[in-house]
């Protein structure tokens, strides 16, 4: 596709429910990243995939958060037993692979998650 796409664009869920957020990276980009943008915390890194493996999960805030990537393409971020503090915009980005990080990351439009 032309850019990184994410779905849904908006998600409202009740506290305690599970949610799945989807990211479709730019074709040919093997690196995929999840970030979270919230009022109190700014933009925070969550997890990084290179292909289907996740060498860096250091930003996941709790074990309620998990992510997977299949076929080196689509990724799903799952939040179990959602809490109100999970409300944020979840951003996905993709790039060409680089051990030195010297490739631009292209961001998707984000999924706005609201936990009521």
91 binding other proteins? (CB under 8 A): yes
110 binding other proteins? (CB under 8 A): yes
101 binding other proteins? (CB under 8 A): yes
Please select the residue that binds other proteins; options are 18, 20, 56, 68, rule is CB under 8 A.
56
Counted residue by residue, the chain has a size of 116
Looking at the DSSP bridge assignments, the partners of residue 35 are 45, 91
Q: How many CB atoms lie within 10 A of CB 57?
A: 14
- State the minimum distance, in angstroms, from the CB of residue 60 to other proteins: 12
27 binding other proteins? (CB under 8 A): no
Residues that bind other proteins (CB under 8 A): 31, 33, 35, 42-45, 48, 55-56, 58-59, 91, 93, 95, 98-110
């Amino acid at each position: 596709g032309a850019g990184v796409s994410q779905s849904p664009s908006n998600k409202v869920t009740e506290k305690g429910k599970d949610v799945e957020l989807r990211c479709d990276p730019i074709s040919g980009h093997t690196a995929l990243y999840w970030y979270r943008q919230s009022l109190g915390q700014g933009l925070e890194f969550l997890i990084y995939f290179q292909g289907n493996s996740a060498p860096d999960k250091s930003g996941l805030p709790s074990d309620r958060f998990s992510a997977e990537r299949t076929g080196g393409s689509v990724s799903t971020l799952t939040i179990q037993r959602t809490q109100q503090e999970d409300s944020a915009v979840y951003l996905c980005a993709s790039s060409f692979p680089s051990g030195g990080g010297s490739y631009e990351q292209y961001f998707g439009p984000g999924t706005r998650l609201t936990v009521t």
